[in-house]
Amino acid sequence: MEFQTESIGDDIVVIRGDGRLNMVSGPALREAVKRSVEAGRARVVVDLSRIPFMDSSGLGALIAGLKTAREKGGDLRIVRPSTQVSMVLKLSNVDRILPAFDSTEEAYRD
C-alpha cells in the first residue's frame, strides 16, 4: 500500500492509505510520517477512513509515528477509523493516547 500526503498550512500533513494496515504496509506508514516530520510538518493526521483492517503491526506503526512526531514537538492524530480499527484501538487501550476524531479539521482545531 502507498500512502498519499497532503499538506495543510505550514506544519500539518494528512496521510491517507487505502487497504489493510498490517506488517506489509506498516513500514510504509512509518516512512510517510518520518518524511513529513523531517520536512517540518510535525503535526500529523492519519486518515483511517479507507483502512478496513488493522493488526498489531499497524498499531505499532501508529505508535511509532506518534513518537516520531512528538520528538519534534508535534503530535499525531487519527481520524475516521473503521469499526474494526476502532476495536483494535480500544482493546489495546491505545484509544486513550490516540483518540479518534471525526474530521481532519476537528483533529487540529486550535
Q: What is the CATH number of the domain that holds 13?
A: 3.30.750.24
110 domain-assigned: no
4-52 pLDDT, tens digit per residue, is 999 998 889 999 999 999 999 999 999 999 999 999 999 999 999 999 9
109 domain-assigned: no
The alpha-helical segments, DSSP class H, found in the chain are 26-38, 56-71, 83-91, 104-107
What whole-number distance in Å separates Cα of residue 76 and Cα of residue 68? 9
Partner residues linked to 4 by β-bridges: 16
State the sign of the Cα–Cα–Cα–Cα dihedral 25, 94, 106, 65.
negative
Name the pTM for this structure.
Answer: 0.94
| Structural domains in the chain (count) | 1
105 domain-assigned: no
Domain that holds residue 46: 4-99
